[in-house]
Amino acid sequence: MLKTLYVEGATPFHRVPLRAKLILLMTASIVLFFVSSPAILAPVFLACLCLYLTLGLSWRDALGRIGWIGFAVLVLALATWFFNGLNEAIALSLRIITLVLLAAAITATATIGAFMDEITVMLMPLERRGLLNAADVGLALGLVLRFVPEIAARYDNIREAHRARGLPVRPLTLFVPLIILTLKDADTIAMAIDARGFRRQ
């Protein structure tokens, strides 16, 4: 089943041009790694949280989109606390969650087509130097975004199939079919992209 991370809406953040949002994310990714004071990071985190929660997502959907990062942040925070102290652990957690919230806000307010177009335009200087094919990179990144909810939905389907058959849900029996089915679909989608002549140049 084909889904999208885009949330229809007319919030001020929806109206911000995608290029500006991507530049904002890139700048924030660099700047925040030079900031280690939780007193500065906390307000930035709260601002991004407010932004994310005002995009028209339900609480459940809002949490579901970023919840997966929670475990990784927790592990990193614990390790940082152990090696570098509590202050550093709090700063690291705030930094990562802030960037994830900002990235999630951008993907919720831009369609995949807009992403592909923008990335293709931004990479044209590199294409002119013969370093890459901008449309291919745009397509690849667009497909990554398109696949995220698809893989999540398939994961749920396989887990439900286990339950329906009374089988225990184990990583091996869950991830092996997930990977195989994903690769199989990827193959078919690649064929469809060729059939539709997208990569004609």
Partner 1 sequence: MAIEFTDCTVRFGQKTALFPLTLTLGERRIGIIGLNGSGKTTFARLINGLVKPSEGRVCVNGLDTAGDAKAVLGEAGFIFQNPQHQLIMPIVAEDIAFGLKNRGLSAAEIEERTQAVLARFAVSHLAKRRVHELSGGETQLVAIASVVVTAPKILILDEPTNQLDLKNRRLVEQAIAGLEQQVLVISHDLGLVADFDRVLLFHEGRLAADGSAEETIRHYHGIAGC
Q: Summarize as ranges the residues that interact with partner 1 (CB under 8 A).
A: 1-4, 6, 111-113, 135, 142-143, 146, 185, 188-189, 191-201
In terms of CB distance, is 165 or 200 closer to partner 1?
A: 200
Mutual angle of helices 112-128 and 134-164, in 10-degree steps = 140
In terms of CB distance, is 81 or 147 closer to partner 1?
A: 147
**DSSP per-residue string spanning 42-111:** HHHHHHHHHHHHTSS--HHHHHHHHTTHHHHHHHHHHHHHHHH-HHHHHHHHHHHHHHHHHHHHHHHSS-
In terms of CB distance, is 85 or 113 closer to partner 1?
A: 113
In terms of CB distance, is 39 or 188 closer to partner 1?
A: 188
**Interatomic CA distance for residues 191 and 185, integer angstroms:** 10
CA distances from 59 to 10, 64, 134 (A): 19, 8, 36
Minimum distance between the CB of residue 106 and partner 1, rounded to whole angstroms?
16
Minimum distance between the CB of residue 69 and partner 1, rounded to whole angstroms?
22
Q: Which one, of 58, 38, 34, lies nearest residue 46 by Cα?
A: 38
Minimum distance between the CB of residue 157 and partner 1, rounded to whole angstroms?
14
In terms of CB distance, is 96 or 143 closer to partner 1?
A: 143
Minimum distance between the CB of residue 41 and partner 1, rounded to whole angstroms?
34
Side-chain-side CA neighbours of residue 77 (13 Å): 16
CB atoms near residue 79 (< 10 Å): 12
Minimum distance between the CB of residue 156 and partner 1, rounded to whole angstroms?
14
Minimum distance between the CB of residue 5 and partner 1, rounded to whole angstroms?
9
In terms of CB distance, is 88 or 185 closer to partner 1?
A: 185
